[in-house]
Amino acid sequence: DAKTTQPNSMESNEEEPVHLPCNHSTISGTDYIHWYRQLPSQGPEYVIHGLTSNVNNRMASLAIAEDRKSSTLILHRATLRDAAVYYCILRDLRNAGNMLTFGGGTRLMVKP
Amino acid sequence: ETGVTQSPTHLIKTRGQQVTLRCSSQSGHNTVSWYQQALGQGPQFIFQYYREEENGRGNFPPRFSGLQFPNYSSELNVNALELDDSALYLCASSFLRGGGTDTQYFGPGTRLTVL
């Protein structure tokens, strides 16, 4: 799977929007963009995924650049519970398996 | 739909020993994956089982082995433990459809300490 680059850490204030960037300049046309997050002392949990179009769900929005070389996970109103490590992961739809290749992720800190 | 559970939550072993970690997948899921997460790093893929057969393996030596059972449970076995095996071990279950869109559901992990 192609490599992603994320900032090591970011800070946000509670109840403000948060934009978490991810660069994936070597993305291929068959790579889906997935986001998972890992809350303290828990396993990772799925947040959202997309291929080309922007996506929304109850947790977050995913904005994908037109050239697909970058994407942004948007939390519309950060809460203290959103403090976690956020992982941007590319998954090739041609892969028979569905294993995830995690990078270092972005540690999001939310201030009250 | 029950979540993914793992046991034990914590475990301490000494170098050279063997360990078995257990995972109970969500009902109906046909795939289980195991990951190793060292402190401060992202999880690293160990291997995946699909319908009780190994379906992919990461860069881990053969002393890491696994089993998947028909009752949605699975095991990770590690022989000849080394100090570097100290980590959080995560299992994740999913329903494999292919196509890069499957969601993996993770358990809380087993924290293994090797002394």
Chain B, 63-82: which have a CB under 8 Å from a chain A CB? Answer: none
List the one residue out of A75, A36, A29 whose CA is nearest residue A52.
A29
Beta strands in A1-112 (DSSP E): 9-13, 18-23, 31-38, 45-50, 55-56, 61-64, 70-75, 84-92, 106-111
Residues in A closer than 8 angstroms to B55, CB to CB, are 96-97
pLDDT grade, residue A90 (50/70/90)? Answer: very high
Distance separating alpha carbons of residues A41 and A54, to the nearest angstrom: 30
* Mean pLDDT for the stretch of residues A75-99: 88
Q: For chain B, where are the alpha helices, taking DSSP H only?
A: none
Is residue B5 pLDDT above 80, yes or no?
Answer: yes
Q: Name every residue whose Cβ is closer than 8 Å to that of residue B102 and which is 6 or more positions away in sequence.
A: A98, B31, B94, B95, B96
**Token digits of residue A33:** 């963009």
Cβ <8 Å between A101 and B45: yes
Whether B59 contacts chain A with CB within 8 A? no
Cβ <8 Å between A100 and B106: no
Q: How far is A72 from chain B (nearest CA, A)?
A: 18
* Mean pLDDT for the stretch of residues B56-62: 94
